[in-house]
Amino acid sequence: MDLQQVARAGQLEIDPTIPEVHITDLTAFCTCRRKWDFSSLLRQGRQPSFPPEPLLLGLGVHEALDHGYRTSVGTGLPMVFDFLAARKRFDTWLKLREKRIIKYTGPLWPQEIELLAGVRELGLCMLKHYSLWSPGRDFRYTLLGTEMAFKMPIPSLSSPVDGRPSPELNYAGRFDGVVRNLYNDRHYVLEFKTAKSIDRMSGVFRGMQPTAYIWAASKVYETPITGVLYRILRKKIPSDPVPLQTLGRFSRAKRQKTSWEWFEYWVAAWAKAHGVGAEEVVALNNDVKAMLQEKGNEFFKEQAITRNPQQIEECLIALTHEGTQMTDPSIPIYPLSGMHCSWCSFKEPCDLMSMGMPYQALLDAEYASRGYWEKEDAGE
């Protein structure tokens, strides 16, 4: 029985009536209860009818990465990313999302049309660039599954006040993938992230997600999980090489924002258009190659995160105690203002609430049920 079958079999005994706790939901709860009340499926379960650009891009890229790796699942061979399959899914998903938005909100404004075009251009460029970078990492791993949903009962803890056991709770989520390192036989949860910077991920690496994922995966798949293997994709289109006066020569300026993988890909197309051999042009630019390889690829990052038993125990305590509050229908709701308010997608209705002004009409018009989008993501 492979890991995917083990996961399916392990979830048949989970009681669907028991409340579920998700890490992103718990994070929102700890950040601001009002935002959590707006967004959580345990409460109002809303999402902007026109999702913010970072969310739209992140969801689309995740969909594409899933489809790009599907043919590698269960082969026992090194995983291989299929860019054509990923591109097709990204385009299809984005068109479905656009139709869904129009159905809910009406015709798009010009700036919204422009935003969607920008998401498509950036998303496809990121995926193409990833397809050039990933072979240098993928050969180490075989892919055991993608987009693997899970649900696990959280161990009950006794209250330190009255000794009563905590209520039954399930921890639920979805792994982007599970991989096995072909060189040391270690298993990892595979998790993709899109970010403005690949060097500002300490909050993710130090957060609860990798801890909870390691615990849940080791239980669901009945095999030791070494850690979470993060792959960070930078939301940036690389610069195209700058031609010099000498035909076939390109600038080696260190300030250019590109990578050797992108340079080689771009130069191949340039050479074909100019009727010269790509290998000759690449050889002519060995100094550019050396410079870019020394800089390293600044658009992607792979990082393995591990956890010790104490960290896992503390995570389970947090899941239990915070989850108990989240599932309490009488829990008080109030805003916790801070820097996060600047980029909160519920800022406008929240401001109206804080000023004692009517907000429900805005909430109903600009925010759809999350179930509405989940149906779209499933292709319904």
Residue-wise pLDDT for 141-188, tens only, equals: 999 999 888 888 888 765 544 556 667 899 999 999 999 999 999 999
Q: Calculate ∠ Cα 208-35-171, nearest 5°.
A: 35
Same-domain pairing of 245 and 360: no
Confidence of residue 238 (pLDDT cuts 50, 70, 90): very high
Instruction: Give the mean pLDDT of 243-262.
Output: 90
The answer to whether residue 14 scores a pLDDT higher than 80 is no
Tell me: the pLDDT tens digits for 186-199?
999 999 999 999 98
CA distance 82 to 239: 24
Structural domain ending residue among the three candidates 259, 278, 297: 297
Contact 152, 20 (CB under 8 A): no
The pLDDT > 70 percentage for the chain reads: 91
**Do 293 and 308 sit in the same domain of this protein?**
no
pLDDT, position 369: 87
Task: Report the mean per-residue pLDDT for the chain.
Answer: 89
203 and 250, same structural domain? Answer: no
Whether residue 64 is predicted with pLDDT greater than 70 in this model: the reply is yes
Whether 378 shows a pLDDT value over 90: the answer reads no
Looking at the fold, whether 289 and 317 belong to one and the same domain comes out as: no
pTM comes to 0.90
Percent of the chain having pLDDT more than 90? Answer: 70
Q: Choose the final residue of a domain: 281, 297, 313.
A: 297
- What pLDDT is recorded for position 174? 93
- pLDDT score recorded for residue 352: 95
Indicate the pLDDT class of residue 323, thresholds 50, 70 and 90: very high
Cβ atoms of residues 153 and 220 within 8 Å: no
Residue 100 has pLDDT above 80, yes or no: yes
pLDDT value at position 103? 87
Q: Is the distance from CB of 246 to CB of 264 less than 8 angstroms?
A: no
Domain end residue (candidates: 251, 274, 297): 297
Range of the domain at 281: 239-297
Q: What pLDDT is attached to residue 61?
A: 98
Q: What pLDDT sits at residue 254?
A: 86
Mean pLDDT of 52-76: 95
**Do residues 160 and 145 share a domain?**
yes
Count of beta carbons in the 10 Å neighbourhood of residue 24: 12
- What is the average per-residue pLDDT within 359-372? 87
Label residues 112-146 b or e (16+ Cβ within 10 Å = b). Answer: eeebbeebbebbbbbbbbbbbbbeeebebbbbbbb
Residue 316 has pLDDT above 50, yes or no: yes
| Structure tokens, 3 | 């890991």
**How many domains does one find in the chain?**
2
Give the pLDDT confidence score for residue 164 in this predicted structure. Answer: 61
Same domain, yes or no: 307 and 357:
yes
Query: Which has more pLDDT, 63 or 162?
Result: 63
pLDDT at 24: 92
Stronger pLDDT, 374 or 129, i.e. the higher one: 129
DSSP 281-324: HHHHTHHHHHHHHHH--TTEEEEEE---HHHHHHHHHHHHHHHH
H-only helix segments in the chain: 3-11, 23-31, 33-39, 53-69, 83-105, 110-133, 135-138, 202-206, 208-220, 260-273, 278-284, 286-295, 309-326, 347-354, 360-366, 370-377
- Asked if residue 372 and residue 263 are part of one domain, the reply reads no
- Are residue 170 and residue 305 in the same domain, yes or no? yes
Is 211's pLDDT higher than 50? yes
Do 221 and 364 lie in one domain? The reply is yes
Task: Give the pLDDT band (50/70/90) at residue 11.
Answer: very low
For the residues 4-11, what does the mean pLDDT come to?
A: 45
In this structure, the answer to whether residues 214 and 245 fall within a common structural domain is no
Return the pLDDT at 74.
93
Residues 121 and 260 occupy one common structural domain: no
The SS3 assignment for 151 reads: strand
Domain co-membership, 324 together with 371: yes
